[in-house]
Amino acid sequence: MNTKAHSRPHAHSHAEIAAHLDTAERLCAQRGSRLTPLRRLVLETLLRHHGSLKAYELLDALRAAQPGAAPPTVYRALDFLTEQGLIHRLDAINAWSACTDAGGQPHDVLVVCTRCGSVAELSDPDLGRRLADCVAQAGYALSGQETELRALCPRCRQG
């Protein structure tokens, strides 16, 4: 199995955050989209946070820098960032997490810790193809590239 994993065991440094934001700006520009100041702030907040944030946790964090931030505008920013592949919507815990490799390969599997919200991004094209084949044999077609698995991270398993 050729699995490549990206996870965030620690908070990003200022240089890593700047590099992620530069990548996001470049990707949006290439796609004819714009990373507005609010979208950038949402992405930066998620990058600074270890793990994932629920919408209202994110809103509370944003209000320190943008007191007028309102749920509809934050949800629109989250939708945009998800569509651009810059963040992940985590259905398992109803939260969002920054994509740690937005400029790289698509992630076939997201492993989400249901206790602390940490995320491991796995890229295994063979596994993705096998899953797509299984889904096709059931008469369905995948509507997205990512499969989300619920798990406990090593730290939560020990605690």
Exposed (0-12), middle (13-18) or buried (19+): which is 39, by Cβ within 10 Å?
buried
Question: Per residue in 21-50, pLDDT tens?
Answer: 999 999 999 999 999 999 999 999 999 987
pLDDT score recorded for residue 10: 46
Residue 95 counted as domain residue: yes
CATH code of residue 132:
1.10.10.10
Question: Per residue in 63-72, pLDDT tens?
Answer: 988 888 899 9
Indicate whether 2 pLDDT > 50: no
pLDDT score recorded for residue 11: 57
User: What is the count of structural domains for the chain?
Assistant: 1
Task: Look up the domain containing 103 and give its range.
Answer: 9-158
Question: Per residue in 90-123, pLDDT tens?
Answer: 998 999 999 987 776 667 889 999 999 999 998 8
Residue 52 backbone zone (phi > 0: left; psi -120 to 50: alpha; other: beta): beta
Q: What is the number of helices (H) and of strands (E) in the chain?
A: 6, 6
pLDDT score recorded for residue 32: 95
What are the backbone angles phi and psi of residue 147, rounded to the nearest 5°?
-110, 135
Residue 152 half-sphere exposure toward CB, CA atoms < 13 A = 7
Residue 17 counted as domain residue: yes
Residue 106 counted as domain residue: yes
Residue 53 counted as domain residue: yes
Residue 143 counted as domain residue: yes
Residue 128 counted as domain residue: yes
Cβ distance 43 to 21 under 8 Å? Answer: yes
Gap between the Cα atoms of 46 and 98, Å rounded: 5
